[in-house]
Amino acid sequence: MVDMPPTNNGCSYNAFLPDSVATVAATGDGALRSLGFAVKDLIDVAGQITGGGNPDWLAAHMPAVRHAPAVSKLLNAGAQVIGKTITDELAFSLEGANRHYGTPRNPRNVRWLPGGSSSGSAVAVAAGLADFALGTDTGGSVRVPAAFCGIFGFRPTHGAVSLEGVLPFAPSYDTLGWFARDAQTLQEVGSVLLPPQNSQPITRICAATDLLSHVKSGVASDMECSSARIATHAPVDMLDEFSLQDVQEVYAIIQGYDIKRALGAHLSAIKPRFAADIAARFDSALCTEEDAYNAACKQRTALTHYMANICPPDTALILPCVSQRHLLRIASTEEIGHFYGVTLGLTAFAGHWGAPQVQMGGAASGEGVGVSLLGAPGRDRALLNLAVKLSTHLEEMQ
């Protein structure tokens, strides 16, 4: 349980929006009683403007009339909102940087970026300022900061949690996810937000070992160590029919066209001033052609059929969701580009398939990124149950 509201914008962590006053008392008494949660600045809290991490976007909009349904469900379950958190501008980043409000500081190491775009939410949880936090995940915006900040993060099955009251980014990939410091809290939040699902347990755990040649040695070591402890069946190959570059490029094209349809008119009307790198990404997305999009959709369909074959409902796959253990705040443009080129391919498997993925943190200190598990669509509750079981097992083995 945390005190509310956070003071001094989360002390020295810069997790919350400046002068955040988005505190809301619980409306019920349920499974999440007395817990405090933070809300990413893409998600509506009644009476607050959803600013998307950009002051011009903030100025062009009015306060939300009602809470996003996900926020209402959590309040009804006994939790209380303690503040709105900083996000990368309109969610178009995996780094966690924001030139307008400042970059949240990674509690594991202040020299590292926190990961984005749900940067403030991840930092608020990692720093102990919130018991859990809401974020959004399109191309890794919950999973990446969870890995970088050493906490637990969950991307649900596409469509499992309502996106009403959430600023759209790339709707065919957008999900509303959440962070916690432990698997039990992650699961308890899921029990409130997720629909009823098949409760049969996941009994097979397989490592996607062919992906490890694409990540840096530290991440490969983390995955190998975890696999040795928890894998129950032989490894599988994720790249038999598609290269990692194919997976990433298909994602980039579909995301770009989605952004064009969802945000293009708003961007033209508002003309928000973005950081140079964010502006370049939006310019590129708005140039995505329909023919390229249609071809990418066909490739996405083929990829999802392949994924369904190697990851049936009783199976979870061990795979990395980041290509390196951390990214320095002073990383060069070349280093950031390499990080994106690989990481977006890794995170896109869940996105293309609309599948749930849980990132099981890492040590609170140190550099390890823990382990990530991908399940079949609709197996969210089973995947969270497995995370609780495996978290206990991994702790006992340390």
| Annotation marks residue 117 as catalytic | yes
Alpha helices in the chain (DSSP H): 55-59, 69-76, 119-126, 143-149, 183-193, 217-230, 244-270, 276-285, 290-310, 333-353, 380-397
Please give the C-alpha separations between residue 395 and each of 205, 230, 308, 362, 398, in angstroms, as whole numbers: 18, 12, 31, 11, 5
Q: Is 141 a catalytic residue?
A: yes
* 248: Cα separation from own chain's centroid: 17
Structure tokens at 52: 């998307």
Is the Cβ–Cβ distance between 56 and 272 less than 8 Å?
A: yes
Q: Which of 117, 118, 119, 227 is catalytic?
A: 117
Options 20, 40, 227, 260, the catalytic residue: 40
> C-alpha angle with apex 145: 143 to 148, nearest 5 degrees?
110
Is 20 among the residues known to form the active site? Answer: no
Tokens for 219, please give them.
């991440």
Q: Are 372 and 168 in contact (CB under 8 A)?
A: no
Q: Give which of 79, 81, 69 is closest to 38, Cα–Cα.
A: 81
Catalytic residue among 72, 118, 121, 141: 141
H/E stretch holding 84: strand 80-85
- Token representation of residue 158: 């596409």
**Which residues are tagged catalytic?**
40, 117, 141
